[in-house]
Chains A and B, each alone.
Chain A
């Protein structure tokens, strides 16, 4: 077990180029990385370059079918119910989608993991208080939070992040605490305690690195979950609202057209699937690649492949 903390610094020195070539070798992970990079670029530059194009309406030219260059590249994926180009809208929507999903996952993870570390590491009373708090949040329906926040604070992207993040905190909290409870008892942590390391040091240097992989797995899975939860809220009429656009909202708005204009809901749905898939494939790969105890799997394949 102790090998984890010892092996780490050694691995770090050789990580840079080695990691990239390892990534290149795993084609699936490589493609995922490229896709994610593209999506991030869309999210950053989309609204600036395509914002006007994406909002240009044409009622009489609505639901333009996809796969035709007749009306220019932006209509290659079809037009939506107000005659706006789907492709441009999807690229622009990446901005709010990624902002909400990343904002939610990050803030829920930071708060949840932080509380979980404290709950797992500190005494029983603190732990009890935090865990019961988590119980309260867990049984507080996100729909009510959404309605309260929307009614009191109004619909906006930061408020959406708030709504979604609150509901996602317990999962990080409970996972972290469960793992900490286990890690805390391990030999190297006990040893560090005996040697007089400070609480902060033990938590950050010894416990967090062990807990992190699980958190990352959950966070990557959660990314898709959050995009879909946001879509569900839009479906119920209490989520992101136009003129803001997200993929989730586009899917929800395309729902009535499933039988007449499938592309309205299909493309943004596909984007959610692709993002989720890439993120998870990459994170699965990273889990192995960054874990010295497991890296042999990739190394082994390398020798086999060459």
Chain B
């Protein structure tokens, strides 16, 4: 029913609109009586995936939004490079066969030959250029644009299958950034499309808003034919229902279920999901501007007590904003010990030096941020209160949370600690550290020249230097200035039907490559 009419808002379409008003009702009524349940009439190699929220868009340039990425990324649309998140192969070729640093900020990419889009056209360098033009267009707001915030890219099509990309200033991780931009054909308009065309092994064959999205396997895919012939995506927001659907055989994969319903070891998998939970402290705000107060906050929290109780088994204690699989992650750091007596002592010392430790500390947490967020926030509040902080909890919905989380921070009598969850599965800290710790970072609570300097140098460095600089930064932030209260690397849980041969991993948070799914 959803004809691709996006952008049609001209006043002259009055006549067309009347039929448009009636059509959905008729179609809806028809569907109500005729459509067959997808799960009940499928071939052995057809699968149904039940996602937690409906997709607003199926737009390739929005594929970095996780719910869109799970459907599109590497299924419909592919990228030039691909990060091996589950293994240690690092950055792998996808649509680009190889790349090399030409110096002066320019990288040359050799593109794969003989690749066809699902509309039959050939893939070439012009498509790559157009895909980036779309991302940078002022006609649409593409998510992937944010990765190139301070970088100007110029494209030079050398031949059909060679393209030079010059970044100013030089961007050492440019090939990595190429794993975040999906390639669309040159004919794609500068507006959100509803019928995405890509080079991937699947093509979109049905999108019935509110109900389902169907991908069918292509016969003319350049790579290895995946086993799954058809994937139907449906949407249920209740974790118990998603789990129930797999149990009842109505679906085959249910990502993002909760620990409470994940009770069947045969079907339920847990894996680190690249999300990190922490309390953001505004280091400029009294009383948190005193390092002893920040240390006391860290020592007040019994992190171990959360794991296996309100958070699933397998959750890890965080010592950095990024998961351990990330470049430069520092293995020498250890989480602050739970020591309420020490916390009280630090608070006493600060108080003796004139810090007003009785100022109110408001913990801001977001409803539905992650499973059991309310319990986590309540427990954190209690632990802070126990060592003598004047802590209160305020649960807010997403829009309000954003106000407290991003600059400019609203005024407060004491200070606010923002409970937040940050996702970095991209393999490099550059996607996290500037935003969370630089003086100009939008969610940063830190204003420290040394931090700014380290971030700037690490971002520009390559190879071992880069890893060493990030390591140094992690240590400085965690041990020396105690910038925040890092808490947990979170675990994701998915239920996978027993007929499938598929193990969800850290990558499942951002994408769900159908080609990785086999049958037993």
Does a CB–CB distance below 8 Å link A and B in the complex? yes
Quick check: A243 and B393 within 8 Å, CB to CB?
yes
Closest to B367 in A: A237
- The listed residue with most B CB atoms (<10 A of its CB), out of A55, A155, A237, A260, is A237
Quick check: B309 and A242 within 8 Å, CB to CB?
no
| Residues of B with C-beta under 8 A to A256 | 239-240, 258, 260-261, 371-372
Quick check: A60 and B309 within 8 Å, CB to CB?
yes
Given A62-B310, A150-B397, A151-B399, the answer on whether A242 and B378 have CB atoms closer than 8 Å is: yes
Q: How far is the CA of A55 from the CA of B382 in the complex (A)?
A: 9
Quick check: A59 and B367 within 8 Å, CB to CB?
no
Selected from A82, A155, A257, the residue in CB contact (under 8 A) with B379 is A82
Closest to B261 in A: A259
A127 within 8 A of B: no
B305 within 8 A of A: yes
Selected from A59, A237, A241, the residue in CB contact (under 8 A) with B394 is A241
B381 within 8 A of A: yes
Q: How far is the CA of A238 from the CA of B399 in the complex (A)?
A: 12
Closest to A252 in B: B374
Q: How far is the CA of A60 from the CA of B367 in the complex (A)?
A: 23
B460 within 8 A of A: no
Quick check: A81 and B310 within 8 Å, CB to CB?
yes
Q: How far is the CA of A55 from the CA of B392 in the complex (A)?
A: 13
Quick check: A59 and B397 within 8 Å, CB to CB?
no
Quick check: A257 and B260 within 8 Å, CB to CB?
yes
Q: How far is the CA of A260 from the CA of B312 in the complex (A)?
A: 14
Closest to B385 in A: A55
| Residues of A with C-beta under 8 A to B372 | 81, 256
B206 within 8 A of A: no
Given A62-B309, A256-B261, the answer on whether A81 and B375 have CB atoms closer than 8 Å is: yes
A81 to chain B, nearest CB (A): 5
Q: How far is the CA of A259 from the CA of B268 in the complex (A)?
A: 16
B119 within 8 A of A: no
B322 to chain A, nearest CB (A): 27
Report A51-77 residues with CB < 8 Å from chain B CB. Answer: 55, 57, 59-60, 62
Q: How far is the CA of A303 from the CA of B112 in the complex (A)?
A: 97
Q: How far is the CA of A154 from the CA of B258 in the complex (A)?
A: 29
| Residues of A with C-beta under 8 A to B399 | 151
Quick check: B260 and A260 within 8 Å, CB to CB?
yes
Quick check: B310 and A243 within 8 Å, CB to CB?
no
B122 within 8 A of A: no
Report A244-290 residues with CB < 8 Å from chain B CB. Answer: 253, 256-260
A203 within 8 A of B: no
Quick check: B367 and A243 within 8 Å, CB to CB?
no
A31 within 8 A of B: no
Quick check: A59 and B305 within 8 Å, CB to CB?
yes
Quick check: B395 and A241 within 8 Å, CB to CB?
yes
Selected from B240, B305, B392, the residue in CB contact (under 8 A) with A243 is B392
B139 within 8 A of A: no
B109 within 8 A of A: no
| Residues of A with C-beta under 8 A to B240 | 256, 258-259
B263 within 8 A of A: yes
Quick check: A82 and B375 within 8 Å, CB to CB?
yes
Task: Type the 1/0 row for A126-147, where 1 means its CB is closer than 8 Å to any CB of B.
Answer: 0000000000000000000001
A96 to chain B, nearest CB (A): 15
Closest to A264 in B: B260
Quick check: B306 and A59 within 8 Å, CB to CB?
yes
- The listed residue with most B CB atoms (<10 A of its CB), out of A59, A253, A259, is A59
Closest to B308 in A: A60
Q: How far is the CA of A256 from the CA of B396 in the complex (A)?
A: 20
| Residues of A with C-beta under 8 A to B261 | 256, 259
Quick check: A60 and B305 within 8 Å, CB to CB?
yes
Q: How far is the CA of A55 from the CA of B302 in the complex (A)?
A: 17
Q: How far is the CA of A151 from the CA of B397 in the complex (A)?
A: 9
Report B268-319 residues with CB < 8 Å from chain A CB. Answer: 302, 305-306, 309-310
| Residues of B with C-beta under 8 A to A147 | 397
Report A204-260 residues with CB < 8 Å from chain B CB. Answer: 237-238, 241-243, 253, 256-260
B377 within 8 A of A: yes
B400 to chain A, nearest CB (A): 6
Closest to A255 in B: B240
| Residues of B with C-beta under 8 A to A155 | 394-396
Quick check: A57 and B378 within 8 Å, CB to CB?
yes
Quick check: B367 and A241 within 8 Å, CB to CB?
yes
Quick check: B310 and A82 within 8 Å, CB to CB?
yes
Q: How far is the CA of A178 from the CA of B240 in the complex (A)?
A: 44
| Residues of A with C-beta under 8 A to B310 | 59, 62, 81-82
Task: Type the 1/0 row for B357-385, where 1 means its CB is closer than 8 Å to any CB of A.
Answer: 00000000001100110110111011000
Quick check: B378 and A243 within 8 Å, CB to CB?
yes
Q: How far is the CA of A257 from the CA of B310 in the complex (A)?
A: 11
A3 to chain B, nearest CB (A): 54
Selected from A59, A82, A242, A258, the residue in CB contact (under 8 A) with B395 is A242
Given A59-B306, A60-B305, A151-B400, the answer on whether A259 and B260 have CB atoms closer than 8 Å is: yes
| Residues of A with C-beta under 8 A to B394 | 155, 241
B364 to chain A, nearest CB (A): 11
Q: How far is the CA of A256 from the CA of B260 in the complex (A)?
A: 6
Q: How far is the CA of A297 from the CA of B260 in the complex (A)?
A: 52
Quick check: B382 and A260 within 8 Å, CB to CB?
no
Q: How far is the CA of A277 from the CA of B217 in the complex (A)?
A: 57
| Residues of B with C-beta under 8 A to A257 | 260
A213 to chain B, nearest CB (A): 41
Q: How far is the CA of A57 from the CA of B386 in the complex (A)?
A: 11
| Residues of B with C-beta under 8 A to A258 | 240
| Residues of A with C-beta under 8 A to B400 | 150-151
Report B327-354 residues with CB < 8 Å from chain A CB. Answer: none
B28 to chain A, nearest CB (A): 21
- The listed residue with most A CB atoms (<10 A of its CB), out of B261, B309, B392, is B309
Closest to A257 in B: B260
A54 to chain B, nearest CB (A): 12
Quick check: A59 and B379 within 8 Å, CB to CB?
yes
Task: Type the 1/0 row for B238-271, where 1 means its CB is closer than 8 Å to any CB of A.
Answer: 0110000000000000000010110100000000
Quick check: A237 and B260 within 8 Å, CB to CB?
no
Quick check: A243 and B397 within 8 Å, CB to CB?
no
Other than A59-B309, A256-B240, give 19 A-B pairs with Cβ distance below 8 A: A55-B382, A60-B309, A82-B310, A237-B368, A238-B397, A241-B367, A241-B374, A241-B394, A242-B378, A243-B392, A243-B393, A253-B374, A253-B375, A256-B239, A256-B258, A256-B260, A256-B261, A257-B260, A259-B261
**5 interchain pairs, CB-CB under 8 A:** A81-B372, A147-B397, A238-B397, A243-B393, A260-B263
Give the top 4 A-B pairs by smallest Cβ distance, nearest first: A237-B367, A241-B395, A59-B305, A256-B260
